Amino acid sequence: MLTGGAPINVDVLNFLKIVTSCPIIEGYGQTETTGGTFLTRIDDNTSGHVGGPNINVEFKLQDVSELDYRSTDIDS
């Protein structure tokens, strides 16, 4: 199964994985970039992240100073 469009709650995602007994792939990307730019790997059983970029994608992290977002930020 595939989910995208908005982040899915981790508890809901874990529940769906148990009930359906199948992998659920989370996707992220803008419509302008063909949608699923970043996808969870099918063999990744952890929840709460969207996964890495597809092999045909290049991406760049950029600082957005007016929103206080930095490419060096680390979630804690």
Cα–Cα distance for residue pair 76/62, rounded to 1 Å: 20
- Residue 72 domain-assigned (yes or no): no
- Residue 30 domain-assigned (yes or no): yes
- Residue 13 domain-assigned (yes or no): yes
- Residue 10 domain-assigned (yes or no): yes
- Residue 75 domain-assigned (yes or no): no
**Per-residue pLDDT band at 75 (split at 50, 70, 90):** confident
- As beta bridge partners, residue 26 has 3
**Per-residue pLDDT band at 76 (split at 50, 70, 90):** low
pTM comes to: 0.66
Six-digit token pair at 53? Answer: 């970029």
Q: How many domains does the chain have?
A: 1
Average pLDDT over residues 26-39: 78
Domain residues for the domain of 17 are 2-67
16 close to 31: Cβ distance less than 8 angstroms? no
